[in-house]
A and B are shown apart, each in its own frame.
Chain A
Amino acid sequence: MKRWLPALAMGGFLAVAALTAVVVLRPGPEPSAAERADVLARGLRCPDCQGLSVADSPTSSAQEIRRQIDELVAGGATDDEVHAHFVARYGQWILLAPTSPAAWIIPIAVVIAGAAVLGAWLLSRRRADPAPPSALTAAQRPRPPDEVEALDA
């Protein structure tokens, strides 16, 4: 392996990642009314379906809510005001994602905690582990050589 190839790969990766981030995260043009309405419709629950958003649902109540969203957006309402309009009628249930930050933080925290515990376990100094039980583990049993394993560095 040529010496500079890995460095090139890493550098290329970082460059593309940065470029992608810039292109994707750059504040784009203001979303149009139709786009805003679409995003809002995807976040509101269809009242007489099983868990679908009003964007996906064919029912007449979903269509009416989409009409109301369009009217509200055209009338200058912010996203929060549109949400508040429907929450006043249906309660928090009409929003497809919970607003409380705890609902978002808890699962992420659990994953991070799990990874941290794993990391700590891997990195901590090894105490003498108790002797393994009498039977040899699969690794310790004599095995025919495996030519694929032989490839492992």
Chain B
Amino acid sequence: MWVYIIRRVLYNIPVFLAIVLLVMVLLRNQDPVPGLLGKNATQQEYDSKRHELGLDRSLLVQYGALLTEIVTFNFDREMWTQSGMTVGEQLRSAIPTSLALTLPALALTTLISICIGMLSAFARGRWLDKTLVFFAVLGMSISFLVYIIFGQYFGSYQLGRLLGRPIFAIHGYEMGWQNWAYYLLLPVLISVIVAMGYDTRFYRAVMVEETQKDYITTARAKGASDRKIMFVHMLRNAMIPIITRIMITLPFLVTGSILLETFFGIPGMGNVLLTAILNNDFPVVEVFAAIFAGMFIVSIILTDVLYALFDPRVRLQ
């Protein structure tokens, strides 16, 4: 098994290298120096700044330097748009904030979608199924943005006015467990509502596939109750695709939700990333891309391993 893992890691190293290179090349299409120095700088200042930031070296040299940094876990490079703050510090404060938003969202969405998916698959073809699918499709047809704009207005402002005191924050964020619900619950709910359409249909399809299997017919013939069939049999056997899907989604949690964070002013990774891209802050984007790529590859390998553990028919070759 370890041989398998090592072989997979080696196989995926080119993927990692390619991701980092791709990001670097795309970023360098824009010149960050004028924005950093302002309107009154001289050519000399520009050149010295460019030298200081290391932009006058060839792309390969910069690439090599970045990789060395990542491999030695050295995140002390300074950000370009915020003096005095290192990339490491910025990521350290932004990532947990994003996770505080995306983890609960993922958990809630998965829980609710699995339940609805199961219900739907079980009542396949009948009116309950049709209604649920219909609403899922409806939900999928509205833009994320519209949910956010209306959610912020009705869920936060109007609700607060109705009840006389603010229940959900309109905007902003403060660290601390006691503040979580006030600042993040509304974005989490919006996130759940948006994702439910897709997820419900996915889980429904998985469950439908399960219902068509023989062991369900056997169980029914043996007189097992509906609930037992659903939870004990279907769920267990459907675990594999469910877990696969969750595992693949995990690294993306770290990115946070760019739109939600921008709208609600949550200083999470998505917000930081968007600001960094639009302001040409290369270190932040590059280091984050490298970290993310690493996590992604780890999650792929983990998924394969878990898959093998769950299903003995899969042999790791």
Co-complex (A, B): no
Task: Give the interface of B toward A (CB within 8 A).
Answer: none
Task: Give the interface of A toward B (CB within 8 A).
Answer: none
